[in-house]
């Protein structure tokens, strides 16, 4: 089916030259999303996919879940948004439809709760970062600078982690944050502290929170999540209920 779809793309004038392995993988995952080969041709037009689209991912570290879905490690925060978009696309997603969300949450890519100068940001200093199939980011903080001083992420992430805009922060400080992310991705299991049934379902839950941040805006999201409703009672919290209590690991 993959090669037949590649031939259709070539015949439609959307592919010239020999596609690389990542292009073929994009075809496979897009077919797996339920599209027919003819619809994949339409998706290529919609998303502007060419043989060179996935070139920025060449040589980058790719971790794969048990289902072989690719997660791309982000080792240069300045390119995080580009890599996140390509990871979503590679997994058969439609980043052109989610760009508006990333635009509204653009503060996620810089500042206290976002990315900063090539690491995972002030709140996740010396951390590790990975782009997920949901078109969002997952980060784990590095070790504390001083053992007596809490890592800022310990103040701003609770239970199994917390989403700030486009960035899902795994709770806690870690001597090897990249290993925490890699282990979670490759096992498909929830990260430390989370009660979610699987990483995939947790990321789906957290992606809804990203949509809420975009819809409500920074100040109103904090008001609705922390002040108007009690975050200690997730089963009664409208934002948690919207995100899917079971996906988030809440047992009500």
How big, in percent rounded to 5, are the helix, strand and coil portions of the chain? Answer: 50, 10, 40
Residues counted in the chain: 252
Both ends of the chain: CA-CA distance in Å? 43
Contact 33, 88 (CB under 8 A): no
- What ranges do the domains of the chain cover? 1-53, 59-248
Per-residue pLDDT tens, the chain, 252 aa: give them: 899 998 889 989 999 988 999 999 999 999 999 999 999 999 999 999 999 999 999 999 999 999 999 999 998 878 889 999 999 999 999 999 999 999 999 988 876 555 554 455 555 567 889 999 999 999 888 876 555 555 555 555 556 678 989 999 888 888 898 999 999 999 999 998 888 999 999 999 999 999 999 999 999 999 999 899 988 899 999 999 999 999 999 888
Structure tokens that stand for 202 in this block = 């947790």
Q: Torsion angle of alpha carbons 123, 126, 127, 130, nearest 10°? A: 110
Q: Which of 151, 147, 150, 139 is nearest to 178 (CA)?
A: 139
Specify the 3-state DSSP secondary structure of 48. coil
* Backbone φ/ψ region at 132: left (φ over 0), alpha (ψ -120 to 50), beta: beta
Specify the 3-state DSSP secondary structure of 107. helix
Tell me how far CA of residue 166 lies from CA of 9, 122, 224, in angstroms. 32, 15, 18
Q: What pLDDT shows up at residue 82?
A: 95
Q: What pLDDT shows up at residue 118?
A: 44
Q: What pLDDT shows up at residue 158?
A: 57
């Amino acid at each position: 089916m993959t090669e037949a779809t590649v031939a259709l793309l070539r015949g439609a004038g959307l592919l010239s030259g020999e596609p690389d392995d990542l292009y073929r993988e994009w075809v496979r995952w897009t077919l797996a999303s339920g599209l027919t080969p003819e619809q994949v041709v339409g998706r290529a037009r919609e998303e502007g996919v060419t043989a060179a689209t996935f070139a920025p991912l060449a040589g980058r570290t790719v971790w794969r879940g048990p289902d072989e879905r690719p997660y791309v490690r982000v080792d240069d925060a300045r390119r995080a948004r580009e890599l996140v978009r390509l990871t979503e696309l590679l997994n058969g997603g439609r980043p052109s439809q989610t760009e508006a969300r990333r635009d509204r949450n653009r503060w996620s890519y810089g500042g206290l709760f976002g990315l900063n100068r090539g690491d995972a940001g002030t709140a996740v200093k010396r951390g590790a970062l990975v782009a997920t199939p949901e078109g969002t980011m997952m980060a784990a903080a590095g070790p504390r600078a001083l053992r007596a001083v809490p890592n800022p992420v310990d103040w701003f992430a609770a239970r199994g982690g917390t989403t700030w805009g486009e960035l899902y922060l795994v709770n806690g400080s870690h001597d090897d944050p990249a290993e925490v992310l890699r282990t979670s991705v490759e096992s498909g299991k929830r990260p430390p502290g989370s009660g979610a049934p699987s990483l995939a379902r947790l990321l789906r839950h957290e992606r809804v929170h990203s949509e809420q941040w975009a819809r409500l805006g920074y100040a109103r999201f904090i008001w609705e999540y922390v002040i108007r409703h009690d975050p200690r009672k997730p089963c009664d919290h409208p934002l948690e209920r919207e995100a899917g209590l079971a996906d988030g690991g809440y047992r009500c």
